[in-house]
Structure 1
Amino acid sequence: MIKVLVVDDEPQILRALRINLAAHGYDVATAGSGAEALRRAAAAVPDLVVLDLGLPDMDGGEVIAGLRGWTGAPILVLSGRAASTDKIAALDAGADDYVTKPFDIGELLARVRAITRRGGDQPETPTVAIGDATVDLTTKTVHRHGDRIRLTPTEWQLLEILASNPGKLVSQRELLHRVWGPSYDRETNYLRQYMAQLRRKLEADPSRPAHLLTEPGMGYRFRP
Structure 2
Amino acid sequence: MRFTFLPLFILASWAAAAPVAERDGVAYIAPASNGGSQLDKSAGLGEPLNIIVSGLSSSKVLTDDGIKNWARSYGFSTECLGLHIGDKQQANLGDGKGYKDELAVIRQDFGNVGLGTCLESLTGGNHFRMWRQETTGAYFLAASKEKPASKNHDIVSDGYNIGRDQVVAAATGDTNYKGVKYHTTVEFVTGLLPVGSDGINHGIALDGRVAVLTVTAS
TM-score in terms of structure 2 length: 0.23
* Structure with the higher strand share, 1 or 2: 2
Task: Identify the structure with bigger relative contact order (alpha carbons < 8 Å, sequence gap 6+).
Answer: 2
* Structure with the higher helix share, 1 or 2: 1
